[in-house]
Amino acid sequence: MPLPAAERWLLATHDYELDADGAHVPEHPVDAAVVVCLGWRKGTNAGDPDTGHTLDQVDLGASDAMRNRDVEERQRASVRRLLDEGLIEILSVESAVGQHGVLEVVTRYRNLVTGAERRVPTSG
């Protein structure tokens, strides 16, 4: 069964990416699903409140090792369905507490349908 078409959503601007002609830039549906799973805080998408990350629940006062393990587990849980269906594999999850105590996370993954490697930056 073919996957439905998708459009590239930019987390930084909270808008769709447009090309030079003003048309929406296409995105592979698996990549679009990863952005939805990792780019929104769980419970904030009215259309699908069970989808999203739980990075806001990470203990920023924990040791780096404990925090990093917690972040990786949470990111994997956010995309569990895609992992279980063999659509993606997680390559790495990197996290740091940035300015003003904000958790910054970059999740690198491989789309197993296209073979492309992608990264999704997220703030907690």
Buried b (16+ CB within 10 A) or exposed e, 100-123: eeebebebebebeeeeeebebebe
Q: Alpha helix locations (H) across 12-96?
A: 29-39, 64-78, 80-84
Range of the domain at 103: 6-123
Stretch 72-95: mean pLDDT, rounded? Answer: 96
Q: Which one has a higher pLDDT value, 54 or 48?
A: 54
Q: What predicted TM-score, i.e. pTM, was given to this entire model?
A: 0.83
**Is residue 1 situated within a structural domain?**
no
What's residue 3's pLDDT?
A: 52
Count structural domains, the chain. Answer: 1
**Is residue 69 situated within a structural domain?**
yes
**Is residue 42 situated within a structural domain?**
yes
Q: Tell me the two tokens of residue 110.
A: 């491989």
**Is residue 80 situated within a structural domain?**
yes
What's residue 1's pLDDT?
A: 43
pLDDT > 70? residue 11: no
**Is residue 49 situated within a structural domain?**
yes
Percentage, residues of the chain above pLDDT 90: 56
Distance (Å, whole) CA 93 – CA 108? 6
Place of tokens 């997680």: 90
DSSP 3-state of 84: helix
**Is residue 13 situated within a structural domain?**
yes
pLDDT > 70? residue 25: yes
- Beta strands at 26-27 and 88-97: parallel, antiparallel or unpaired: unpaired
Domain of 16, CATH number, reads 3.10.450.40
